[in-house]
Structure 1
Amino acid sequence: MASLKKIGTTALALASVLPATLAGGGSSAICTQIQQAISHASAVYYPSSKNYTADNAHWVASSTQASACSVEPATAADVSAIIKLLGKTKTPFAVKGGGHATNPGYSSTTGVEIAMTRFNTVTYDKKSGTIVLGAGKIWDDVYAELAPLGVFAPGGRVPGVGVAGFTLGGGYNWISNQVGLTVDIVLGYQLVKPNGDIVSVTKTSNPDLFFALKGGYNNFGIVTQFTYKAFPIGQVWGGLITYGAAQAAEFNAAFSNFAIHATDTKAAIVSGYGLDANGEAAVGNIMFYDGPSPPKGVFDAFLNIKNTSSDIGTRSLSSLVASAPQTLPAGTRGYFNTMSFFEYTPAIVNAILNETTFWGPRVAAVEAGALAGYHMEPFLNTLLTHNTTPTAWPFFRSKKFVPLQMQFTWSNPKHDATFRGFMEQSAVHLTNVANQDGQAIQQLPLYPNYGLYTSPPARIYGSNIPRLQAIQAQVDPQNVMGLAGGWKL
């Protein structure tokens, strides 16, 4: 990759469900009804207003749709009023947290866009050791607000990621080697059920919903706030370092060794490949250490490789996250696709680099400026052992598996299907490579926050589907949440 700044840091998602049309009553009717039903703390916005534009905007243009109106609820009671009206009129809708998801229809709609922007509180309770976050917060802002208190809730690793979607989808974070997935450290939810009831969901108050919300996405209502276990945080070490094509082989060796043999629970990396401006392979590597400096030997293999740029040092968590900017040119479209491996062996790592050099020129031949990136995330063998309470995702915890994120970006809408096909072909090829490497990965869970919309739900929820369907039938017998896009059961 040219650098993680161009393709490696961005978390590009994909396309989703087909746009739905508004049902009985028409767009103006339902929007007016909502406006009349909510309190003055909340508001409805229409096309041409700044709030409407912001409410519908997503990180990539391909996941932005023009809704009939947008609504910014400020209270759970107003969310209740809204969802009851939407269910009664069978109006398609979407719920948007941060807007970093890029599957069209997952947090966007041609119906009513519910933007959770006004749920923006960050509350730390020292006595209970918990942090409560509103569903409209962005992780960057959460880290900055909590920094003076020396605590944080582990969430997004790059800028612009929303609290809600990230948490409801599982949540790989910078200290996952120490505490597990973000879904593992959520202690409670405030949920507005599809019938409008406002409930507190904890392990003891409602074990079924507690299980379902831990990775179950938006199938059970609208979450307005999350309660997390708080963890201490001070100065951390790390940042982004990049390498040129001549160093790719040396980097591959260092990465594979780290992925297989690392033991320090405080150390983590996210590494990616892409093509630079000259069409040659390049590498971006974000390193993280939970402390002001890593012990000798932890990252030496990476630091000793000749780099093309380096932003490594002791800093705040906010600064480290900001070192991987997510800003894309206006009009950029994009998809994610994902795979899971048991391990990043040398054969897998070399194959991923080869995919970059194979697809990079091909996407550029279709459209000048289009990019193909591959991002690898290794974790320790203990990753999935930090939580013994069942979760909707992942459905498989008997052995560690690690995610790969593909990220393709382009500008012309007519190329959407072409690039989606490229990403699907790449996944098939890498699956064959994994099989040859002795890794039978076909049944491993796929990470929903990276998943391409064509991924089968069975690869997301697997053996948990029957239990999740039963919970959904109980909490949402009218299938109100089916009016919104997302990973459906």
Structure 2
Amino acid sequence: MRLTLLSVALAYAEIRSIDAACRQLSVQFPNDLFFPNSSNYTAEQTAYWSETTVLTPNCVFRPANAAAVSAGLKIVSKNNSPFAVRSGGHMPVPGAASTDDGVLFAMSAINTKKLVNNNVAQLGPGQSWLTVYSWLSQYDLAVAGGRYAPVGVGGYLLGGGISYFGSEVGWGANNLVNVEVVLADGRIVNANATSNPDLFWALKGGSNNFGIVTRFDIKTFSVPHVYGGNLAYDHTQVSELVDATASFVAPGGGSDDNNAAIVPVVAISPATGAISGSLTMCYRGSDPNPAALANFTKIQAQSSDAGLRTFSDFMTLSSSQGTRGLRWLFRNTGVKVIPGSISLINETFTDYTLSNIKNIESVKGATVMTSIQPITVNWLKAAKAAGGEPIGLDPANGAFIASLVICQWDDASDDDTMNAYATGVVDAIAAAAKKAGADYPFVYLNDAAKGQEVFKYYGGGTSLAKLKAIQRTYDPNGVFKRLEASGFKL
């Protein structure tokens, strides 16, 4: 009885703290605080890529600038109110950037775009990468940003960031030169190589555990044109796609060319068991027939829109990929690049899925996919040369694959079923890799599922203690640890 009464009392106290925070925000920011049943509330509450992440905050705060974020953070902290922060809302982890209890900071109005000295882009967290690429296209410039149009600037960079240019410039976060961040006590500070350098290091992959970022300053580079596009394959060509991918990642293969990047996918329809393949490929430069991609272009694809175009036009092609409004799930594991590792991933995915298809064949709208994301030795060398980051992977350990499983489906009633499937198939891939000597202990944060341990693998196990110490330095009262909704706490 005592525990029940205590639980009720604590729940009531939390409700009061949330209500107080919402009321005070409404008084100070009457035009930027929205309650349920208003059109602005609904627009922000539902502005997520995956339906799994659409929750119901008590109120939505849409700050206009860093000063407003500071004032808002002071209010929620003073009232001990839970809160969440959303940039682009692409991560499909429930509660990573949304909340059922508390205040949602919707960063959509902080959408700065400014080019400094023709080599640094200052970006607000409210931007999508397609918007950024379209803007930079007029200067023939690009940045190491997301590979899909709707991905937001903020979460991508705080999670490290896989781009089409990684073999040349490392993780997206390695290209940051400065970050403007609001700390738990409301201070607005800059973090860079000389000012708050420990915080700067932590933000490049440490997620939203240290403050609310209101501006990212990231290096640009010249990309007038790329050769690239999307290709589709039927079930008879999947083996050719897998073989071409294996050749690409092998020593001496296309991945040795820093200008080349690929995203191959094998998909299975649980309802029919039908298997298909697809490929997105990108080559920086004006070569209409790059040798690094020859093993792919020689396959007679069922359809292809590959060609020379601006990088912005290439990225526009991804606008149709990954339909908004469905339920999505990512889960990934690391697999070392050795002879046979690509076949191992594909065969394990296919065998596990077909062997367990009765568990998911009745799931409405379901498709399951596996995607190969090569992280090359040159990528890891570039990351290290750029000053490093918490991810801290050693190039001496060789190239690896961030082996990703993607699930989509329609109904919330099937969430547990699809989560169980994803857990099972990724565990099977990890087990097969370990048995083959291809184990690579790493989970990429931006493609991780709820409950996956991410930070324990950073720096070969050495980064987590440092990240926690930095968090204590900049947030001694544990505001972000206690009150912020997050997919991945330290």
Calculate percent identity across the aligned residue pairs: 30
Answering whether residue 28 of structure 2 is matched by residue 29 of structure 1, we say no
Answering whether residue 280 of structure 2 is matched by residue 281 of structure 1, we say no
Q: Which amino acid aligns with 2:267?
A: G
Paired with 1:64 and 1:24, the residues of 2 have a C-alpha distance of 20
- State the SS of the aligned residue for 1:408: strand
Aligned partner of 1:195 in structure 2 is 185
Unaligned runs of 5+ in 2: 1-10
Aligned partner of 2:159 in structure 1 is 169
In the superposition, relative to structure 1, how do residues 397 and 105 fare at CA in structure 2: closer, same or farther (>3 Å)? farther
Q: Which amino acid aligns with 1:440?
A: D
2:116 aligns with one of 111, 121, 125: 125
1:67 aligns with one of 57, 82, 91: 57
Residues 160-196 of structure 1 deviation map (CA, whole Å, 9 limit, x = unaligned) = 0000000000011011111111111101100100000
Q: Which amino acid aligns with 2:27?
A: Q
Q: Which amino acid aligns with 1:476?
A: D
Cα distance, 1:451 vs structure 2: 0.7
Q: Which amino acid aligns with 1:50?
A: S
Aligned partner of 1:406 in structure 2 is 405
Aligned partner of 1:431 in structure 2 is 430
Paired with 1:369 and 1:125, the residues of 2 have a C-alpha distance of 46
Cα distance, 1:402 vs structure 2: 2.6
Aligned partner of 2:367 in structure 1 is 371
Q: Is the 8 A contact 2:45 2:54 kept in 1?
A: yes
Aligned partner of 2:442 in structure 1 is 445
Paired with 2:380 and 2:272, the residues of 1 have a C-alpha distance of 40
Residues 408-431 of structure 1 deviation map (CA, whole Å, 9 limit, x = unaligned) = 111222221221111111122112
Paired with 2:65 and 2:28, the residues of 1 have a C-alpha distance of 12
Paired with 1:319 and 1:406, the residues of 2 have a C-alpha distance of 27
Q: Is the 8 A contact 2:84 2:98 kept in 1?
A: yes
Cα distance, 1:92 vs structure 2: 1.0
Q: Which amino acid aligns with 1:287?
A: M
Answering whether residue 281 of structure 2 is matched by residue 290 of structure 1, we say no
Q: Which amino acid aligns with 2:298?
A: N
Q: Is the 8 A contact 2:125 2:154 kept in 1?
A: yes
Aligned partner of 1:43 in structure 2 is 32
In the superposition, relative to structure 1, how do residues 488 and 395 fare at CA in structure 2: closer, same or farther (>3 Å)? farther
- State the SS of the aligned residue for 2:81: coil
Paired with 1:78 and 1:164, the residues of 2 have a C-alpha distance of 17
1:343 aligns with one of 317, 337, 340: 337
Cα distance, 1:244 vs structure 2: 0.9
Cα distance, 1:35 vs structure 2: 2.1
Aligned partner of 1:220 in structure 2 is 210
Q: Which amino acid aligns with 1:415?
A: D
Q: Which amino acid aligns with 2:186?
A: G
TM superposition score normalised by structure 2 = 0.90
Q: Which moved more, 1:314-323 or 1:219-228?
A: 314-323
Paired with 1:317 and 1:347, the residues of 2 have a C-alpha distance of 31
Cα distance, 1:458 vs structure 2: 4.2
Paired with 2:405 and 2:186, the residues of 1 have a C-alpha distance of 38
Cα distance, 1:226 vs structure 2: 0.4
Aligned partner of 1:300 in structure 2 is 294
Paired with 2:15 and 2:364, the residues of 1 have a C-alpha distance of 44
Q: Which amino acid aligns with 1:120?
A: N
Cα distance, 1:265 vs structure 2: 1.1
- State the SS of the aligned residue for 1:251: helix
In the superposition, relative to structure 1, how do residues 379 and 456 fare at CA in structure 2: closer, same or farther (>3 Å)? closer
Answering whether residue 241 of structure 2 is matched by residue 240 of structure 1, we say no
Q: Is the 8 A contact 1:186 1:229 kept in 2?
A: yes
Q: Which amino acid aligns with 1:267?
A: A
Paired with 1:231 and 1:477, the residues of 2 have a C-alpha distance of 38
Paired with 1:83 and 1:218, the residues of 2 have a C-alpha distance of 14
Cα distance, 1:218 vs structure 2: 0.6
1:455 aligns with one of 438, 452, 456: 452
Paired with 2:348 and 2:454, the residues of 1 have a C-alpha distance of 29
2:317 aligns with one of 323, 331, 340: 323
Aligned partner of 1:77 in structure 2 is 67
Answering whether residue 371 of structure 2 is matched by residue 380 of structure 1, we say no
Cα distance, 1:474 vs structure 2: 1.2
- State the SS of the aligned residue for 1:373: strand
Paired with 2:416 and 2:279, the residues of 1 have a C-alpha distance of 30
Aligned partner of 1:393 in structure 2 is 391
Q: Is the 8 A contact 1:236 1:314 kept in 2?
A: yes
Paired with 1:217 and 1:201, the residues of 2 have a C-alpha distance of 15
Q: Is the 8 A contact 1:281 1:357 kept in 2?
A: no
- The structure showing larger relative contact order (alpha-carbon pairs under 8 Å, at least 6 residues apart) is 1
Aligned partner of 1:7 in structure 2 is none
Aligned partner of 1:471 in structure 2 is 470
Q: Is the 8 A contact 1:98 1:137 kept in 2?
A: yes
Aligned partner of 2:257 in structure 1 is 264
Aligned partner of 2:99 in structure 1 is 109
Cα distance, 1:358 vs structure 2: 4.0
In the superposition, relative to structure 1, how do residues 173 and 344 fare at CA in structure 2: closer, same or farther (>3 Å)? farther
Give runs of aligned pairs for residues 414-429 of structure 1, distance below 5 A: 414-429=413-428
Paired with 1:328 and 1:438, the residues of 2 have a C-alpha distance of 33
- State the SS of the aligned residue for 1:23: helix
Q: Is the 8 A contact 1:107 1:486 kept in 2?
A: yes
Paired with 2:41 and 2:51, the residues of 1 have a C-alpha distance of 15
Paired with 1:75 and 1:324, the residues of 2 have a C-alpha distance of 30
Q: Which amino acid aligns with 2:116?
A: D
